């Protein structure tokens, strides 16, 4: 039996197929590349390296226009990114400062901050400038322990005299591993998990904050 190509159901399927067909993007020229870069920089906090990688990917996806002789036009991606940095649309220092603050406020340690900034193409001097201070690193470790209810922040601490020591050690090992994965140094992890009271941890944080305040006072010439 022949199928009526003009039947309502067939027409509906044809319309749907046409709607689903992906729209072919025009190859990139300097103007379109610049517009992509500006749009990306306006939407996302980024670095020069991340923006350059994004533009390179778009060139691979969409291709580049050809000149009158059929030769591919060379687009100066590095020059475009450099110009946006000069204009202040892209700022690695501001990105590193914001990223470091965001990660520590979420409970991540200095190593995770370093890894994130390295992955974003931030150069070493800028990464070092925005590494968490000792007080910030301790505060972030405490925050994670509170969120995960580790150490003395747990609802009920097991009594090692009445609890299976193997189970206690397994729990401690899991908590250590979780905090190390979050980028915290072992010294901080051990102190928090070994603390018998939350007060001890508060004093430990106060110590670092006081030292940091004293150091800043000396640097500013107030002492």
Q: What is the DSSP string of 155-174?
A: SS---TTTS-HHHHHHHHHH
**20-70 pLDDT, tens per residue?**
655 677 899 999 999 999 999 999 999 999 999 999 999 999 999 987 777
Q: In this predicted structure, what is the pLDDT of residue 21?
A: 56
The answer to whether residue 169 scores a pLDDT higher than 60 is: yes
Q: How far apart are CA 193 and CA 139, in angstroms?
A: 14
Q: How far apart are CA 102 and CA 113, in angstroms?
A: 9
Q: In this predicted structure, what is the pLDDT of residue 195?
A: 95
Q: In this predicted structure, what is the pLDDT of residue 26?
A: 87
Q: How many CB atoms lie within 10 A of CB 39?
A: 10
pLDDT bin (cut points 50, 70, 90) of residue 122 is very high
The CB-based long-range contact list for 194-197 (8 Å cut-off, 24+ gap) reads 194/151, 195/151, 195/152, 196/152, 197/152
**180-192 pLDDT, tens per residue?**
999 999 999 999 9
Q: How far apart are CA 183 and CA 141, in angstroms?
A: 9
Q: Region 132-141: what's the mean pLDDT?
A: 98
pLDDT bin (cut points 50, 70, 90) of residue 96 is very high
């Amino acid at each position: 039996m022949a199928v009526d190509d003009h039947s309502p159901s067939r027409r509906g399927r044809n319309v749907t197929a046409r709607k689903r067909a992906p729209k072919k993007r025009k190859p990139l020229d300097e103007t379109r590349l610049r517009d992509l870069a500006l749009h990306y920089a306006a939407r996302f906090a980024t670095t020069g390296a991340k923006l350059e990688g994004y533009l390179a990917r778009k060139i691979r996806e969409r291709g580049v226009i050809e000149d009158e002789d059929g030769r591919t036009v060379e687009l100066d991606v590095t020059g475009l990114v450099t110009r946006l940095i000069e204009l202040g649309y892209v700022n690695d220092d501001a990105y590193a400062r914001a990223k470091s603050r965001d990660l520590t406020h979420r409970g991540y340690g200095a190593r995770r901050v370093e890894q994130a900034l390295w992955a974003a193409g931030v150069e070493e001097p800028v990464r070092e400038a925005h590494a968490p201070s000792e007080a910030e690193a301790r505060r972030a470790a405490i925050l994670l322990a509170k969120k995960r209810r580790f150490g003395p922040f747990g609802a009920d601490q097991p009594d090692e005299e009445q609890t299976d020591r193997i189970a206690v050690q397994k729990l401690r090992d899991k908590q250590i591993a979780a905090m190390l994965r979050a980028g915290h140094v072992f010294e901080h992890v051990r102190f928090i998990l070994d603390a018998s009271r939350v007060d001890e941890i508060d004093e430990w944080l106060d110590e670092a904050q006081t030292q940091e305040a004293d150091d800043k006072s000396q640097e500013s010439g107030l002492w």
